Structure 1
């Protein structure tokens, strides 16, 4: 490493002796000589006058020594700051999250983390799952929280938590009065869906295809808030995370259509680039986020 050679050169210049420099650096005299020779070959000039009594800097050596002291000082300062990031919870984290996680789960957890570690600067970007994955791969984000999983070989994936998906309907919907519904009762309904690329849309598409449920008509919204408002207004039924609708359900603004003998779940995951080393702040943040947290859920009928 060039820094090692520069450190050897500076020590020889200050001690004016190869052997004494070697003792201070725990290097043999041939090892010291090799560093100096490699440095002279790289710069294409002689840096030291050697004699049996002493070692003196050449004119080129004096110029290099002046700059080497600044280089080593800057390097040591950078090393201290980097170690501080690794050993102390400080620095910054740019977090990406899909809509469900970013709007309904992370805010409270981030507030807890920020109160405990006020020296960490947090920035949150909310997009759908596909956009979060792309931003992680482009090094725009440090870590991402996505709905579902990814098999991308460039990414490290940590399971975060389970998420219960439920079907919600307007309170005036004919199925809202039922204690539970069978899948065939969901045929030919009007559905309100998220946009393609959303983790929620991917899950609902999989459910509808696997259950062979056809719909009379569908409307697409690019936000869960829009879907909630549409369902509440009577537009149709929708599949959303229980996190998203728990307040509206408690207030009686919409109804839950419970599927008989079935609990629908998906995974939330934490992703990052495999090649990126995590700072202490990121490591501690993930540890805090992995503490169990789930809304109350009802067992299958």
Structure 2
């Protein structure tokens, strides 16, 4: 049973015969008859009696008619609901992000969107980068935001904006680095080898980019003095602020933080992009589709 059969059935009842129903529906009379025959076979009973060119409902047809009308009305209400939903953009988007884009990038993306579509809403969770990829692959979130890409034929990754990792320090290390920078004009990786480092734990995009950059210099984390590993960015910054060590962090994480001194290292300047990711088979709501377009249009 399909909606076209129901539409033909109800139209015949309203018009009183097959030929008028065919004209109203822009169908041939044989096509109308075929729809009725198919519906009657599916119901297992006759729905009409033909009397002098008139189509008269049988007792079964009379019983079925209000249900057919209700089903067609429900279909119409569903279409109206979809139209309102598409127009008002009042759906919810679930987002899973790694720490740096989740804490420092997403607010800049969401604020203008929320002002434009105030009926939309978001549920945001923060994970490490590997966790974000896993959640997107498992359909546990609509969209993901990460600081490093991952090759997968099930994922779509859209580059958004460039980021750079900078060295941050506080007393007593910032004074030492300041003095060295004034003496040389710039800082090099060799100036960092005797400093204690606070690094992110494995799974972090920041750490992956940092390790990749070290490898390009034929170095590794083993060449550094590691004072500690911390699983979140704000924790790293707190330890650096207390003078426990220095660290590389995203320049975006320092936009509103003036308490820490940042340094660019001439031969060690890790760069990366932030990415929007989603499952290639994900079916998006109009709200989600509009947000994806909004994100890709932003200049941050």
TM-score range normalised by the length of the shorter chain: 0.7 to 0.9
Cα deviation, 1:40-74, whole Å, max 9, x if unaligned, reads 33333333333442222233333332112111112
In 2, Cα distance between equivalents of 1:9 and 1:138: 44
Contact 2:96–2:124 (8 Å) recurs in 1:
yes
SS of the equivalent of 1:283 reads helix
Distance 1:27 1:228, change over 3 A: same
Q: What does 1:42-57 correspond to in 2, within 5 Å?
A: 42-57=42-57
Look up the match of 2:296. 290
Asked whether 1:177 is paired with 2:179, we answer: yes
SS of the equivalent of 2:151 reads coil
| TM-score, reference length from structure 1 | 0.85
SS of the equivalent of 2:62 reads helix
Q: Report the alpha carbon displacement of residue 176 of structure 1 after superposing the two structures with TM.
A: 4.6
Distance 1:170 1:279, change over 3 A: same
Distance 1:194 1:60, change over 3 A: farther
- What number of residue pairs does the alignment pair up? 291
Look up the match of 2:66. 66
Mark the runs of 5 or more structure 1 residues left unpaired by the alignment: 295-301
Contact 1:165–1:242 (8 Å) recurs in 2:
yes
In 2, Cα distance between equivalents of 1:285 and 1:269: 14
| TM-score, reference length from structure 2 | 0.85
In 2, Cα distance between equivalents of 1:196 and 1:62: 69
Look up the match of 1:235. 244
Contact 1:161–1:292 (8 Å) recurs in 2:
no
Contact 1:84–1:90 (8 Å) recurs in 2:
no
Q: What does 1:30-179 correspond to in 2, within 5 Å?
A: 30-173=30-173, 174-179=176-181
Q: Report the alpha carbon displacement of residue 188 of structure 1 after superposing the two structures with TM.
A: 5.8
Match of 1:197 among 197, 203, 220: 203
Q: Report the alpha carbon displacement of residue 234 of structure 1 after superposing the two structures with TM.
A: 1.9
Distance 1:67 1:110, change over 3 A: same
CA RMSD of aligned residues (A): 2.5
In 1, Cα distance between equivalents of 2:225 and 2:289: 48
Look up the match of 1:29. 29
Cα deviation, 1:134-153, whole Å, max 9, x if unaligned, reads 33333332222222223322
Range that drifts further, 201-210 or 76-85: 201-210
Q: Report the alpha carbon displacement of residue 270 of structure 1 after superposing the two structures with TM.
A: 1.3
Contact 1:190–1:236 (8 Å) recurs in 2:
yes
In 2, Cα distance between equivalents of 1:22 and 1:234: 84
Distance 1:262 1:203, change over 3 A: closer
In 2, Cα distance between equivalents of 1:177 and 1:59: 98
